[in-house]
Amino acid sequence: MEAITSRIGRGQVLLADGAIGSLLMTRGLPRGAAPESLNLEHPEILEEIARLYLEAGAEIIQTNTFGASPLKLANYGLDGQAVAINENAVRAVRRAVGEQAYLSASCGPSGRILQPYGDTETEKMFASFQMQMQALIQAGADIICIETMSDVNEAQLAIQAARSVSTSIPVMATMTFEATARGFFTIMGVTIEKACRELEKAGADFIGSNCGNGSLQMVAIAKEFRKFTSLPLLIQANAGVPELRSGQVYYPETPEYMAAMCRELIGAGVAVIGGCCGTTPDHIRAMRKMVDEEMQQRQGIPDN
């Protein structure tokens, strides 16, 4: 398979997958349980979800390891099984996608706050990320995807942890921003300009944003990123801000709407587009069609 960086270098836009968590819940994950516990008990569910996204047209398929760093797993008493949880997740996706898609290993925040603001030492957090990265990379991940970060120091530790295991594996790093009257900030007060500088400095190959408040805001965030970095951009928006309708969670953005926003993101220079909370295989399917149309236009091939 051609290296992802080489495809981006040729001006291609790649499509990643959508949400995992919401699909897990509809498949019986009890509320309050660690989504990653399924990696041990029911890896076949992860395989099924990976296959759904592959069939929908995603070329980058994510593992169910967002909360699988030992520090985070410790909340559920699962830290002792961190290696198996990460390895199983990679293997499940590999069984589903083979070499038809890039296998992207997800790594979310530790859930802890670094000193001096919180109680966690830098070394401890680094060691936790390193253990996760080691397991993910050894099990055969093609890409590391560090995501939903608020603290740029924590994001840097995760990037460095991945780099300490492999100097060659492509590393993506995204942060989650809120719109304020003074521009975009993470909850820890990180601006997009600072994110660009610090993520690049730590060794990320792709940077960008995920989660947040819907696609429209992501277009603005992507444009802001483009001002401060020449690295390829990665954007994974939520399907809008969730609402509760007669007791059911409802994400307002339709596949058609997100596909239209996908075109805007391509226009803003984004190289990798996927979905975060609330996105489904249907969203990815609609986005696939849009990416294909845009790529055909870009190559000057008539659309027939």
Partner 1 sequence: MKILKQIAQCLESGDDAGVPPLVRQALTEGIVPKTILDDGLIAGMNTVGEKFRVHEIFLPDVLLAAKAMYAGMDVLKPLLLSAGVSSRGRVVIGSVQGDLHDIGKNLVGIMLKGAGFEVIDLGNDVTAEKFVAAAKNNDACVIGMSALLTTTMPVMKEVVDLLKKESLSGTIKTIIGGAPVSQNYAGEIGADAYGYDCAQAVAGVKKLAAAVQ
Q: Which helix (H) or strand (E) holds 148?
A: strand 143-149
Q: In this structure, how many other beta carbons lie within 10 angstroms of the beta carbon of residue 1?
A: 11
Q: Are 111 and 71 in contact (CB under 8 A)?
A: yes
Identify which range of 78-86, 89-97, 108-116, 264-272 contacts partner 1 by CB under 8 A: 108-116
Taking the alpha carbons at both ends of the chain, their separation in whole angstroms is: 27
Dig out the tokens for 268 from the structure.
């803003």
Q: Are 176 and 185 in contact (CB under 8 A)?
A: no
SS3 238: coil
Residue 116 Cβ vs partner 1, minimum distance, rounded to whole Å: 7
Contact set for partner 1, span 245-304 (CB under 8 A): 247, 249
Q: Is 174 a binder of partner 1 (CB under 8 A)?
A: no
Identify which range of 5-13, 93-101, 136-144, 240-248 contacts partner 1 by CB under 8 A: 240-248
Q: Is 208 a binder of partner 1 (CB under 8 A)?
A: no
Which ranges of 75-187 would DSSP assign to H, the alpha helix?
82-97, 122-138, 152-165
Contact set for partner 1, span 14-73 (CB under 8 A): 22, 31-32
Q: Is 117 a binder of partner 1 (CB under 8 A)?
A: yes
Residue 166 Cβ vs partner 1, minimum distance, rounded to whole Å: 27
Neighbouring residues of 189: CB distance < 8 A, sequence distance ≥ 6: none
Q: Is 113 a binder of partner 1 (CB under 8 A)?
A: yes
Q: Which is nearer to partner 1, 75 or 297 (CB)?
A: 75
Q: Which is nearer to partner 1, 5 or 75 (CB)?
A: 75
Residue 114 Cβ vs partner 1, minimum distance, rounded to whole Å: 10
Selected from 28, 111, 140, 267, the binder of partner 1 by CB under 8 A is 111
Dig out the tokens for 17 from the structure.
């997958």
Q: Is 15 exposed, middle or buried (0-12, 13-18, 19+ CB in 10 A)?
A: buried
Binding site for partner 1 (CB under 8 A): 22, 31-32, 75, 109, 111, 113, 116-118, 150-151, 178, 180-182, 185-189, 241-244, 247, 249
